[in-house]
Structure 1
Amino acid sequence: MSEDKKGYLASGNQKKVTTHRLLEMKQQGEKISMLTAYDYSMASVIDQAGVDVILVGDSASNVMVGNTTTLPMTVDQMIYHGKSVMNAVKRAMVVVDMPFGSYQGNPYEAVTNAVKMMKETQADCLKLEGGKEVLESIRAILNAGIPVMGHLGLMPQSINKYGTYAVRAKEEEEAGKLMEDARLLQEVGCCAVVLEKIPAALAAKVSSELNIPMIGIGAGPYVDGQVLVMHDMLGLNKGFSPRFLRRYANLFDEVTSAVQQYITDVKSSEFPSVEESY
């Protein structure tokens, strides 16, 4: 680690966020802020702004590549995005999604892929979707010394099974399974769990009954933290407007305006000016 990075981490509240720090935040009632990032430049901005956790999500499949689901992402693609983000980040805890097909098969394959991802990205943690069905893979990864964040509720890697992006766990049976899965993830050693698109009352119950942090996306305010896709919250993606999304900027229109002004200036020979020439 470079000297400037050491100094950055040692200064005041710029101390590196770790799995232990997330647990402390829950215990102290401090909400956890989490955003996605997929490249060096944006990860640098988000990290310096002070976000606690950066998720290198397989949502890159949608917002960076243009796919309709997260399923096409590969281990090597996630490593590429993970390395790009890790090159920028000094404070935030960086979590990388394990992509579809990289851990569901068997524990041996899961550990092999997890070790490859951790060695090549140098990330802090991996995130896996699912509960009891993938528990042995999660256990094996944890036994290899790799931190794991779980993901329950709406699981985008299972979208073809659901056939819809509707709210999950509204019925008693599915809600009971989610609660049991959350307990299993805590017992096996997961550091936190993302709860996606479930009723706020259920998310509150899970968060209150478990000791590890629950980070919500479309799961209401009574959890231990929140995560959003960066492209969505900055208004870069205008075609996605679920109820849970709050846009904090309108960069689509701002970038469009800037590009149009640039085109105008180039075509009119207003750019570059004499002052901007050598």
Structure 2
Amino acid sequence: MGNLSDPEPVLTRFAQTREAVTAKYGSDSQAVTFLYYEELISLRTLLTRDRASTVLRGRVGELVDIIQTRFHAGGAREPARTFHRTVATDPVVIEYDRAHFERQYRRALELRARTAVRIRHRAQAMSVIEPGASYLYAVDDDGSLLLWPEACRLADLMFGWAPGRPVDPDRVVHPMLVPDRLRVRAAGEMILVGTEASLAVVANLRSGHFRPPAPCAVELRRAAGSAFELDDPADVDVFVMPESGRPPSPKGNDDESAHREPAGSSVH
């Protein structure tokens, strides 16, 4: 990734790649969003090794703003019907419908013969997580951080739910992380970067089943800071998703064909 004392070669490489991708696919394309996200992960990794770098910290701040703006610009697709509801507001707690979970996802969970891992401290996290890989996470209604212990490629998460792509009926979805109570304070995708000595987190609130609103970012930051033993809240980046305009229908159907999101999005 270049000389830590000089991040310019890394910045230049990403700028050149982005220019080529923009020329081919357009400035608003999903491919460009992916590159911004990839650049953020790379620079966050460098920053864990060189926390004094004002160049890295400045560019990380720019990227966070750029990516958040692109997520908001994409808008939110309305699901045909939904199966979640808000059951508390301070903090926000969202509950998934029990009957629908048992009918739609219980069998898939049993076939996987594994469960989400409750993260209790940094050393344990490093034994479960591959730095730089993306994981589904949930903050349960007690405020604990849970991760599904199977890594996903960032490209799969960014592109896997593009319109027209087939939906895998056996994929892991966020309610499978909290099958006992089906309640969360936050849910989405998370990437841990760095080493056990120095960590940072890049995460989002992207869950098509729970659809956590922006205030849930507070709970994610709190849970991640506690679980990973982070001293600085600025070491956790959280991207919020645009909210849909109408409340959930009480008779929902979250058929994932209705949950496909705009460029730069995926739902679980």
Q: Structure 2-normalised TM-score?
A: 0.31
Higher helix fraction: Structure 1 or Structure 2? 1
Larger strand proportion of the pair: 2
Report which structure shows greater RCO (CA 8 Å, sep ≥6): 2
The higher radius of gyration belongs to 1
State the TM-score, normalized to the length of structure 1.
0.30
